[in-house]
Homo-oligomer: A and B are copies of this chain.
C-alpha cells in the first residue's frame, strides 16, 4: 500500500484554505500543521509541479491556487483509509532500554519531555486564542479540533512524565 498521496493531500489541503506560494505552503505546514505534520521543500516543489501538470493546481502570478479538479482530488484523498503505521517515538524507544541508559539519564529524558509538553501547551494556547477570535472562519471548528488534540496529548504527556519520574526515582 503506497503512502504516496500523503504529501499531495497536505499540499492540496493547504491550498484549499487559500492560494499560496510553495514557500507559504511550507510555512503553513511548519506553523499551523507543525504539531502533527512535516514536509520539506524537496517534497513540496516537485509535488506542486506535478499537480500543476495534472491541472489540479494553477499558478496565476505569484501564488498557486487549487482548481475544481484539485478540490475533487482532495475529496478523494480525504476519503482514503488512514495510514496506520505506528509513528516512531524516539523518546519511548530510549526509555524502553532505560536499564542500559541508566536511571538518571532516563529521568533527564522525562524532565525534558515534560518541559517540551508544557511549551507545546503554551504555543497551542496562543494559536487557540487566535483561531477562536476568527468567528467567521468556516474552518474554525475543525482547526479547533486539531488544536484540542495537541492539547490533550500534551497534557497527558505532562502527567505521564511526572508519574514516571516519581516511579523511577528511588
| Partner-B contacts on A (CB < 8 A) | 6, 9-10, 13, 16-17, 32-38, 71, 74-75, 78-79, 82-83, 85-101, 105-106, 109-110, 138-139, 141-146, 148-149, 152-153, 155-157, 159-160, 163-164, 167-168
Contacts and interface: CB of A to CB of B under 8 A. Distances in A.
Given A16-B100, A88-B38, A145 B159 contact: no
Copy count, this protein chain: 2
A98 B145 contact: yes
8 contacts: A10-B93, A17-B97, A32-B96, A38-B88, A75-B100, A78-B101, A98-B139, A99-B139
A139 B98 CA distance: 8
Contact of A38 (B35, B85, B97, B139): B85
A134 B168 CA distance: 17
A89 B33 CA distance: 10
